[in-house]
Amino acid sequence: MNEVTDALAPIEDGQRAENCFLFGPSGAGKTTVARAAVRELRREVLDVPYAYVNCWRDYTRNAVLERLSRDLVGAAVPRSASTSTLLDRVHRDFNGPGVVILDEVDQLRETELLYDLHEFRGLSWIGIANDEVDLLADLDERVRSRVSVGYRVRFDRYGEDTIAEILERRAREGLGPNAASDEVFETIARLADGDARMGITTLRAAARKASSEGLSNIPRRLVEDSISEAEQEIARKTYSKLNDHQRVVVDVLQEEGPLIQRELHERYSERHDDPVSLRYFRDAHLAKLEHYELVETESRAGKKLYSLSEPASIGRVAQP
């Protein structure tokens, strides 16, 4: 948090901030930190223009620029505005300094965008990704030397004690001072295995159970059940975000177990009334399912087996 704040500090003097790059496993709080740092900055310097872009959803240069045009300079633009139009608009109307959060920046297909950002006077960015990727690798040599990443911040999974602390504070604020014992928080933290979201969801499930039993605090014995309920809840939520193609894939894997890519595509094609080609299937659907950690792959003997990840199958079974 301090490093990101440092990176943004020049904005308080009206200067362009340093670009920075946050990486680490999911559930480690990268997005939360980025947003909090920007929120803090906006408390110091009122109305610093900023934008949040999820590059998984908006992965083209055009889509990102459209978002910037809307959120950075408040100019609503028609959907199919050309890239050059958008570029011109932001150039004309944006008065730096300002900052944009590029979440899941490794999903960006057109990395020239980073150069576009550099060209906007006073604009800097915070990039977020799972792995430490070389964002600038694709850029032209001359361009690369000008676009710099001043800060690289590595995030690790939360430790058990940190999660226990988070849970304790949440419980105190949300449920009251004696909602559960330290032992309960510690147990949940251990079972959540470094994933804060899992821990919090479990706490919520446990509180729900306790309250439906008429209890005013959470007993230790409810924890195990709450973990699996939390897994289901998360898997269900993820499943509901999928489109019909991806749901068919999950259903197929649920019923027919591990399959190689080509077989998986064949089964899917049989069940979906408007299946896409194998080539597109790979990029648009399989990649997404892997990204959401709904499907796992295992390479063995030159083949690659696709199967449902454990929580996903639990959640799927629980589907109405």
Question: 204: number of CA atoms within 13 Å, CB side?
Answer: 11
- Give whole-number Cα distances, 47 to 42, 98, 102, in Å: 6, 9, 19
User: Which residues does 9 contact at the CB level (< 8 Å), separation at least 6?
Assistant: 17
- 249 makes contact with DNA (CB under 7 A): no
Binding DNA by CB under 7 A: which of 276, 291, 313, 314? 276
Contact window for DNA (CB under 7 A) among 4-12, 148-156, 181-189, 277-285: 277-285
Q: Residue 43 or residue 279: which is nearer to DNA going by CB?
A: 279
**Residues 93, 90: Cα–Cα separation, whole Å:** 5
Q: For the CB of residue 47, give the shortest distance to DNA in the complex, in Å.
A: 27
Across the chain, the runs of DSSP E, i.e. the strands, are 20-23, 50-54, 98-103, 123-129, 151-154, 259-260, 295-300, 303-308
Kindly indicate which of the ranges 5-13, 29-37, 75-83, 155-163 contains the residues binding DNA, using the contact rule CB under 7 A.
75-83
Query: Can you tell me which of 1, 266, 282, 310 binds DNA, judged by CB under 7 A?
Result: 282
Q: Are strands 151-154 and 259-260 parallel, antiparallel or unpaired?
A: unpaired
Contact flag: residue 242 with DNA (CB under 7 A): no
Judged by CB under 7 A, does residue 134 bind DNA? no
Residue 56 φ/ψ, nearest 5 degrees = -70, -40
Query: Does residue 82 touch DNA according to CB under 7 A?
Result: yes
Taking the C-alpha atoms of residue 86 and residue 218, their distance in angstroms, rounded to an integer, is 54
Determine if 137 is a binding residue for DNA (CB under 7 A): no
Q: Tell the smallest beta-carbon distance from residue 120 to DNA (Å).
A: 17
Binding interface with DNA (CB under 7 A) = 60-63, 66, 78-84, 260-262, 275-277, 279-282, 284, 297, 301-304
